[in-house]
Amino acid sequence: MLEAPCYIVSDMHLGVRSRELEHRLVIFLRQLHGRAGSLLINGDLFDFWFEWRTVMPRGHFRTLAALADLRDAGIEILMVAGNHDCWGDDLLTEDVGISYERGPWDGRLAGWESHVEHGDGLRPREDRGYRMLRSVLRHPASIWAFRALPPDWGSRLANRSSRVSRVHRAHDKGAALEQLGARWLDAHPTTELVVYGHSHVATLRRMSRTGVYANAGSWLDSPTYLVVRTDSIELRRWNGSAEGELLHALDRRAEESLADA
């Protein structure tokens, strides 16, 4: 269970752009003290993440420290792995203290019955080839072989292979994932909220009288995030404060949005 208010971010792809992006994220995380009941990171926090036995990718110490500080303050953190950071291990779970899920997560999020996935590989036709590749990349034998590489070599290889998918929005503007979210809600009447990432398209939409689809967007283009409260969900843009700029909001019970900017 993730306590309210639950802040949701996704697709920061730390390591792609300048350190300024990570600097902004660290400020945001520090501002969650006293505000957030929990934090959900819905995949691709890092553009590449892999844990060797005694080595981790360089450059993200400040983010990990800010997350550890949140955990020390009693704020629950759930990270659902994305396609760029699905090789997490005990550094994240034991040293930083977050909960780490490689697959979908189902549970109560700020009181909402929720289904959360990063969203990679879900499109039936478009992602068919990727699903085959994903099964190979996540196989224990592949992970063992990659761990045998010198860290500098492995990091260089991984960064080259991730360039294609990291920097642009989905060509369909997130429509396919939104449709899949609607289908999930239709097939699971007790689910009130479906949260995907991956498309880099910030979205908050009521799909039925009781069901909502949401995507926190990407910090590569515009630093957007979601705030889930027991009675509402807000899509906000970070503007230097965790209060942020309200872009859109939905009440848990009303048909119409509370705000639409």
Residues 112-166 have pLDDT tens digits of: 999 999 988 676 666 655 555 566 566 567 556 556 555 655 556 555 555 544 4
174 falls in which pLDDT band (50, 70, 90)? Answer: confident
167 falls in which pLDDT band (50, 70, 90)? Answer: very low
Sign of the Cα pseudo-torsion (67, 229, 74, 85, in order): negative
- pLDDT by residue (tens digit) across 185-239? 999 999 999 999 989 999 999 997 779 999 999 998 889 999 999 999 999 999 9
Residue 82 has pLDDT above 70, yes or no: yes
Q: Write down the pLDDT at residue 125.
A: 62
Residue 15 has pLDDT above 60, yes or no: yes
Q: Write down the pLDDT at residue 247.
A: 97
Strands (E), 42-148: 76-80, 99-101, 105-109, 112-116
Q: Write down the pLDDT at residue 129.
A: 57
- The model carries a pTM of 0.84
Residue 8 has pLDDT above 80, yes or no: yes
| Mean pLDDT, range 238-260, rounded to an integer | 79
Candidates 3.90.550.10, 3.30.300.30, 3.30.70.2200, 3.60.21.10; CATH matching 6-260: 3.60.21.10
| Mean pLDDT, range 5-23, rounded to an integer | 89
Which of 167, 85, 91, 76 has its CA nearest to residue 118? 85
Distance CA 231, CA 68 (A): 29
90 falls in which pLDDT band (50, 70, 90)? Answer: confident
Strands (E), the chain: 6-9, 38-41, 76-80, 99-101, 105-109, 112-116, 193-196, 203-206, 212-215, 224-228, 232-237, 245-251, 257-260
Residue 71 has pLDDT above 70, yes or no: yes
Please tell me what DSSP assigns to residue 96: I
Q: Helix, strand, or coil here: 99?
A: strand
Distance CA 113, CA 148 (A): 41
Q: Write down the pLDDT at residue 64.
A: 93
Better pLDDT: 15 or 163: 15
Distance CA 158, CA 102 (A): 18
